Amino acid sequence: MIRRLLIANRGEIAIRVARTAHEMGIAALGIYSTADEHACHVRAMDEARCIGPALARDSYLNIEAVLGAAHAMGADAVHPGYGFLSERADFARAVLDAGLIFVGPSPEAMAAMGSKIEAKQKARAADVPVIPGYDGATQDLATLRARAEEIGFPLLIKASAGGGGRGMRVVDSIGDFDEALDAAKRESLAAFGDESVLLERYLRSPRHIEFQILGDSYGNIVHFGERECSIQRRHQKVVEEAPSTVVSPELRARMGEAALRAARSVGYSNAGTAEFMLDSDDSFYFLEMNARLQVEHPITEFVYGLDLVEWQIRVASGERLPFSQEQIQPRGAAIEVRICAEDPSMQMLPSTGTIDRWEVPHPWEARVDSGVALGSEVTLHYDSLLAKLIVAAPTRDEAVRRLQHALDRTHIGGLRTNLPLLRWIAQDEAFVRGDTTTSFLAERLDESRFARTAFPREVQILALAAMLRDGALPWRIAGIAIPVALARGDARATLRIDRSPAEALVHGDLTGPLRIIGNGATMHAAVGDIEARGRVRRGERGYAILWEGIEYEVGLAAAPEVESAGGIGDERSGAIRAPMPGKILRVAVAPGDRVEARTLLVVLEAMKMEHRIEAPGGGTIAAVHAREGATVSGGATLVEIES
């Protein structure tokens, strides 16, 4: 049995493998780059060694350095995790040649399935259906163009090596082929060191279905059903679930047997995944075999009641599989979402920063496999995946409800994440009923909803209601209309509030009485006939309002017109007055400074909230009366501006 296991990876997968190793009484040994010295996965290990600088090619992809660490720490086996070296046959061979156990398939099986071209050829020979296409060795432009015209359009150009959406292009006509081919080859060469490609007929709206397989060294091999991974963005999975809503027991048996035939064709052992495209008529086509553990393996663990990492280790240690295919039956449903450091308002560009807020559901609400924690620094050096959130339930309907609840309870600060996208998906009616294909996001998502300038009226209502509830609105004299400027990033909404003894009236884009209808975990409020429901949480700088899957950070900014304490406009038109009593936290200008509209002048703290007081227009600072740390009364002159 393995006693000391080197985990040749980082982040959440390294922690996840270490957890199972510890449960089995195996010492978990880690590696890290200089950028990861204080990373969570290092703390999860019994022992860890630095193997090089931040660049992956000099550390996590450096086979010599990884094996050097293995020997230095007395490892007797290596688990590759996923990504990095996990599907490199030369790494598996190097591990074996070093006298260590490799927790994964044989180098020969990895080499066969690591090439999408060879994998398709093996699958075809094993009577596994494949998408019509070209996977030949001749790769010159003339041959590829001719084959493309034979296959027809739309067409998918796909890198033979690797995955993750890199080296892939969809082509709609022969006129676009040459440019797309050049781009795919360049990307493939840069990412995988191999520019060979294959061509496939592109299915517009299929489902992406994969089968989890597990084999031992004695020829026994079984599958643990399907996972649906149809919701993707740029060919990268976003949401996965098991079982699929459209795979019947009969179809599961047919697809599962095809997956096993593909695996047997290369003598596969250990854990792996056969990926298929499923068309609307239940015809399916083999895509590729992933010769490693998948990111989404936890949903299979929930539905089939096993620890896949444990069985990877047991099989690598020489144990036989103790179960037959007939004994393996799904129970319940599970859904996983990938929480990534990506900015939805910037087309999911990677986001970096130090995590200053980390709130995730309780363990009994959801499983969260994470590689980060409060205080973790997220850089551009590695993959953007922060954590996986997994829910399970007896039925899919209940699993969806649990997912919605768990996402509402998840909050990460210090950098942008894709949580708004995940919350939108979880609430979308097509997802709720299980109607998903690979074109789900392209067809249903309007990404403008994530723009930082978006400031829906419903969010404004919830913000006003929360401020009214907490006494944070700048009331001074009943019956006087007070200007209130709500701020959400770069967006502003200026309203006027008139409070009588009986009610608060809103004037502006929203007009009518402000009513708080419900004030529990979810706030229910209205202005006039416009109602809004959302979760409202008070933060250091305002309110975090979760409405329709998106969390809006809303606070008060000074209104363009600031009135005096008596509610009458100041005769000195350039005087900027405090909208309420408070403490001056910051003075951002000095006499003589030039300012434009919405230039920050002063930050005022009131009611434990920070309020930005901004210039109503352009001009020059004539005088600054505010002093940092000083307490001012409502209506006090803070700054004077000459236009």
Residues marked as catalytic: 292
Helix H, strand E, coil C: the string for 512-536 is EEEEEEEECCEEEEEECCEEEEEEE
b or e along 333-350 (b: 16 or more beta carbons within 10 Å of the residue's beta carbon)?
A: bbbbbbbbbbbbbeebeb
CA pair distance 347, 320, nearest whole angstrom: 47
- Cis peptide bond N-terminal to 154, omega within 30: yes
In Å, how far are 188, 452, 458, 589 from 487, measured between CA atoms? 44, 11, 14, 20
Give the DSSP letter of residue 176: G
Under the phi-then-psi rule, with left for phi > 0, alpha for psi from -120 to 50, and beta for the rest, what region is 206? beta
CA pair distance 580, 475, nearest whole angstrom: 8
Element (H, E) at 482: strand 481-488
Selection from 254, 258, 255 nearest residue 209 by Cα: 255
In this structure, what is the dihedral angle of CA atoms 145, 149, 152, 155, given to the nearest 10 degrees? Answer: 10
In Å, how far are 279, 490, 498, 603, 616 from 561, measured between CA atoms? 60, 18, 15, 17, 7
Q: What are phi and psi of 42, to 5 degrees?
A: -65, -40
Cβ neighbours of residue 381 closer than 8 Å, sequence gap 6 or more: 33, 35, 54, 55, 56
In Å, how far are 116, 123, 153, 287 from 177, measured between CA atoms? 20, 27, 10, 21
| 116-125 helix and 249-264 helix, angle to the nearest 10 degrees | 110
CA pair distance 85, 63, nearest whole angstrom: 8
Selection from 389, 271, 276 nearest residue 334 by Cα: 389
Using DSSP bridges, classify how beta strands 77-79 and 4-7 pair: parallel, antiparallel or unpaired: parallel
CA pair distance 624, 602, nearest whole angstrom: 10
Selection from 595, 494, 586 nearest residue 541 by Cα: 586
Element (H, E) at 337: strand 333-340
Q: What are phi and psi of 402, to 5 degrees?
A: -65, -35
Q: With DSSP H G I counted as helix, E B as strand and the rest as coil, what are the percentages for the chain, rounded to 5?
A: 30, 35, 40
Neighbours of 640 (CB within 10 A): 18
Element (H, E) at 284: strand 284-290
CA pair distance 48, 528, nearest whole angstrom: 61
Q: Which residues pair with 5 in a beta bridge?
A: 28, 77
Using DSSP bridges, classify how beta strands 530-539 and 522-527 pair: parallel, antiparallel or unpaired: antiparallel
Alpha helices in 200-326 (DSSP H): 249-264, 297-304, 308-316
Residue type, 162: G
Q: Are 192 and 162 in contact (CB under 8 A)?
A: yes
